[in-house]
């Protein structure tokens, strides 16, 4: 048993040491000594702990590195106001997701089409110039990007969704996941337009911020990158002239960005003045659109993870239970998390992948 894994698995369930002590009947000082590597744990107690946390005992032996927020491996948006326990839970979940994906990808090679470039903003002049360079190097056609998630995956950036408990976190990026240069975990509670802006923002970090930059500056740069990546100035400027709420609602499904982002873009490009910008935003707030905007946008379709699972299930002949074992999860949780069907009562393996 690796003490660090015990801490990680406990935190992934959102339990404190005291709560785990209560659930297992193991005194908290003893648990704390075990987690700190100062006391060993016998098989009976490990079983108690594993059952309480609802993980198979094998998960406690994993030797993978564990990354913390603040390490260069992590980028995340807007977590400043999150309570420490919620943050630790998300951090644990992100580490576990990375470890699980690495295991699932071990025997599978998925080709990539493009490089994920690392570009220095100062050399290009601005984040917008960097965004244009990425679009060019990926040979993206002019106009709106149909599916950013798919484009990212062609450059080796895996995209998965996970229901983070707090809406305050949009996404977390992790670098170097198996053979892949990066993984973006999206909070699955977001509407499609916000999801797309988030993906473009995270891509900005991955491309521009190879070392930990000053946080506010890095956020501004990632937003500027995302704006140009999604809404190239040269193509969208004339369409934003004299923008109204009605016009924003028409443009939203075309560019697949929020009305708020279109109006902000109009201001940033100098197409409307600050007064007009403020009055449009007041109308948006009055209509309650700050929380939920009208007009839905099609969702992007990340597909690499589904493909990897499909290869295991269909070509390599794994059952869902066996795959669950590979990633040290209970089959029910594994199936729910990855949207798989467990064998039906009649013994047939449905193996459907959505
Ligand atoms: Zn960011």
Distance from residue 201's CA to the centre of ligand 1 (Å): 6
The pLDDT tens digits for 240-289 are: 999 999 999 999 999 999 999 999 999 999 999 999 999 999 999 999 99
- Residue at token pair 């390490």: 71
Please state the rounded mean pLDDT for residues 6-31.
Answer: 96
- Has residue 112 got a pLDDT over 90? no
Query: What whole-number percentage of the chain has pLDDT above 90?
Result: 73
Distance from residue 206's CA to the centre of ligand 1 (Å): 10
- Has residue 79 got a pLDDT over 80? no
216 pLDDT tier (thresholds 50, 70, 90): confident
- Has residue 346 got a pLDDT over 50? no
The pLDDT tens digits for 129-149 are: 999 999 999 999 999 999 999
Distance from residue 170's CA to the centre of ligand 1 (Å): 9
Distance from residue 204's CA to the centre of ligand 1 (Å): 8
Is there a contact between 78 and 287 (Cβ–Cβ < 8 Å)?
no
Please state the rounded mean pLDDT for residues 15-20.
Answer: 96
Distance from residue 103's CA to the centre of ligand 1 (Å): 28
- Has residue 78 got a pLDDT over 90? no
- Has residue 221 got a pLDDT over 50? yes
Q: Where are the alpha helices (DSSP H) in 166-273?
A: 192-208, 215-230, 233-236, 245-255, 259-268
Please state the rounded mean pLDDT for residues 102-106.
Answer: 92
- Has residue 71 got a pLDDT over 60? no
pLDDT for 320 equals 93
Average pLDDT score, the chain: 90
pLDDT for 347 equals 42
Distance from residue 24's CA to the centre of ligand 1 (Å): 39
pLDDT for 353 equals 41
Is there a contact between 95 and 102 (Cβ–Cβ < 8 Å)?
no
Distance from residue 64's CA to the centre of ligand 1 (Å): 26
What whole-number distance in Å separates Cα of residue 71 and Cα of residue 129? Answer: 27
pLDDT for 27 equals 97
pLDDT for 165 equals 82
Please state the rounded mean pLDDT for residues 58-86.
Answer: 74
What whole-number distance in Å separates Cα of residue 98 and Cα of residue 104? Answer: 10
Q: pTM for the whole thing?
A: 0.89
Distance from residue 171's CA to the centre of ligand 1 (Å): 9
Distance from residue 205's CA to the centre of ligand 1 (Å): 7
Distance from residue 76's CA to the centre of ligand 1 (Å): 5
């Amino acid at each position: 048993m690796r003490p660090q894994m015990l801490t990680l698995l406990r935190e992934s369930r959102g339990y404190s040491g005291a709560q785990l002590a209560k659930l297992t009947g193991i005194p908290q000082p003893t648990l704390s000594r075990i987690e700190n590597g100062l006391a060993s744990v016998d098989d009976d107690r490990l079983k108690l702990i594993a059952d309480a946390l609802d993980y198979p005992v094998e998960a406690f032996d994993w030797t993978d590195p564990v990354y913390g927020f603040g390490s260069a491996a992590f980028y995340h948006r807007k977590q400043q106001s999150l309570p420490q326990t919620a943050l630790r839970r998300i951090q644990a979940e992100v580490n576990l997701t990375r470890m699980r994906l690495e295991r699932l990808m071990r025997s599978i090679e998925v080709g990539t089409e493009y490089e994920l470039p690392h570009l220095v903003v100062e050399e290009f002049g601005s984040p917008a110039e960097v965004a244009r360079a990425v679009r060019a190097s990926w040979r993206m056609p002019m106009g709106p990007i149909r599916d950013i998630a798919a484009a990212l995956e062609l450059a080796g950036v895996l995209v998965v969704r996970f229901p983070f408990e707090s809406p305050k976190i949009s996404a977390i990026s992790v670098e170097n996941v198996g053979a892949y240069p990066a993984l973006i975990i999206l909070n699955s509670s977001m509407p499609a337009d916000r999801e797309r802006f988030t993906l473009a923002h995270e891509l900005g970090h991955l491309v521009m911020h190879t070392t930990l930059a000053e946080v506010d500056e890095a956020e501004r740069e990632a937003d500027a990158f995302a704006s140009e990546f999604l809404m190239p100035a040269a193509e969208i400027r004339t369409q934003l002239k004299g923008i109204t709420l009605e016009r924003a609602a028409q443009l939203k499904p075309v560019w697949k960005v929020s009305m708020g982002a279109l109006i902000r873009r109009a201001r940033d490009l100098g197409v409307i003045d600050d007064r007009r910008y403020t009055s449009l935003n007041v109308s948006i707030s009055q209509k309650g659109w700050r929380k939920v905007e009208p007009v839905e946008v099609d969702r992007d379709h990340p597909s690499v993870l589904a493909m990897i699972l499909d290869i295991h299930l269909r070509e390599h002949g794994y059952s869902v239970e066996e795959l669950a074992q590979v990633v040290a999860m209970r089959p029910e949780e594994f199936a729910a998390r990855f949207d798989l069907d467990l064998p039906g009562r009649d013994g047939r393996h449905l193996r459907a992948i959505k």
